[in-house]
Amino acid sequence: MYLTGKDSTEKHEPTRSCVICRQRFAKEELFRFVVGKGASDSGLIPDEKKVMQGRGYYVCGNEKCLERFKFFRPRKKNFRG
Ligand SMILES: [Zn+2]
């Protein structure tokens, strides 16, 4: 027997945190970026299909987050972390 009513608390959608505001969103609501490979491309590349390999960074659709994300730089793995 299955309940057909909506119950948001029982969902198991993959969620990710916005790297700017740290709020959690459904993965599909976020924009994904990956770190570009190669020294000539150190920026973050938008991954519209969410299929690219590598460390992904997610940002939500909030205007402020998108604005701040332009200045966001992923930390390098130089030290423990
Ligand atoms: Zn955000």
User: What CATH code is carried by the domain that includes residue 45?
Assistant: 3.30.1230.10
In sequence order, the 6+-apart residues with CB closer than 8 A to the CB of 61 are: 29, 30, 31
* Strand stretches in the chain, DSSP E: 15-17, 24-26, 31-35, 44-46, 56-59
**What pLDDT is attached to residue 77?**
61
The verdict on residue 51 lying in a domain is yes
The verdict on residue 43 lying in a domain is yes
- Ligand 1 centre to CA of 60 (Å) is 4
Q: Whole-model pTM?
A: 0.70
Instruction: Let me know the angle formed at the C-alpha of 75 by 24 and 27, rounded to the nearest 5 degrees.
Output: 25
**What pLDDT is attached to residue 18?**
97
Total domains present in the chain: 1
- Ligand 1 centre to CA of 64 (Å) is 7
CB count within 10 Å of CB 5 equals 5
- Ligand 1 centre to CA of 53 (Å) is 22
**What pLDDT is attached to residue 81?**
45
**What pLDDT is attached to residue 50?**
85
> Can you give the pLDDT of all 81 residues of the chain as single tens digits?
566 666 555 668 889 999 999 999 999 899 999 987 765 556 788 999 888 888 899 999 999 999 999 988 877 665 554
The answer to whether 68 touches 22, Cβ cutoff 8 Å, is no
- Ligand 1 centre to CA of 74 (Å) is 16
